[in-house]
Amino acid sequence: MIPKSLAICVVTGVVASALMGIYLQHLNSQSIIFVQGSSISGYAEKNSYSLGEPVLISIVNSGNTKLGFANDSPAIIIRALDGTIFFSTTMLGSVEPTQKLTFEWNQQKNDNSKILEGRYVVEIITHDESGEQITDSFTLDILR
């Protein structure tokens, strides 16, 4: 026979851990907040990728103005935490409000060599109609 106090502690622990897991999962989820004015949001489908796995980067115009990419500057930069740039690419065209673009990165540097495992910063760079630079960044982990 299990004592009542032990059963109460076990049930309380299970319920508390389930609620904490749901709360932490909610904090970790990517939710886009749409705002008035110019805003861009970038995110990856997952926080961690295996070495060599394609990384899907989503770019969402989270404002209510049209944003464009400059022909002479990169639209996506992937760099180490110390600022060393490993990959950059340009994009053409524009992004309408609430429009989503997806870019697949094959985990290669600009010189076509493979990156190493580690934490990387992905920076998205666009420009609004007045030419002002609008950016967003996020981190992702590449694991072995």
Nearest-CA neighbor of 134 among 94, 104, 105, 80? 94
Amino acid in position 61: N
Mean pLDDT (whole number) for 59-86: 92
Task: Print the SS3 string covering 58-93.
Answer: EEEECCCCCEECCCCCCCEEEEECCCCEEEEECCCC
Task: Supply the pLDDT for residue 30.
Answer: 59
Mean pLDDT (whole number) for 129-133: 90
Nearest-CA neighbor of 116 among 51, 71, 57? 51
What is the rounded distance in angstroms from the CA atom of residue 57 to the CA atom of residue 121? 12
Contact status, residue 124 vs residue 136, Cβ threshold 8 Å: yes
The model's pLDDT over 90-126, given as tens digits with 9 standing for 90+, comes to 998 899 999 999 999 999 999 999 999 999 999 999 9
The model's pLDDT over 12-69, given as tens digits with 9 standing for 90+, comes to 999 888 888 777 665 555 577 788 889 999 999 888 999 999 999 999 999 999 999 9
Nearest-CA neighbor of 85 among 48, 49, 56, 121? 121
Q: Which residues pair with 94 in a beta bridge?
A: 68
What is the rounded distance in angstroms from the CA atom of residue 57 to the CA atom of residue 88? 13
Task: Supply the pLDDT for residue 27.
Answer: 54
Q: Per-residue confidence at 72, pLDDT binned at 50, 70, 90?
A: confident
pTM beyond 0.85: the answer is no
DSSP, residue by residue, 6-28: HHHHHHHHHHHHHHHHHHHHHHH
The model's pLDDT over 117-127, given as tens digits with 9 standing for 90+, comes to 999 999 999 99
Task: Supply the pLDDT for residue 29.
Answer: 55
Of residues 72 and 125, the one with the higher pLDDT is 125
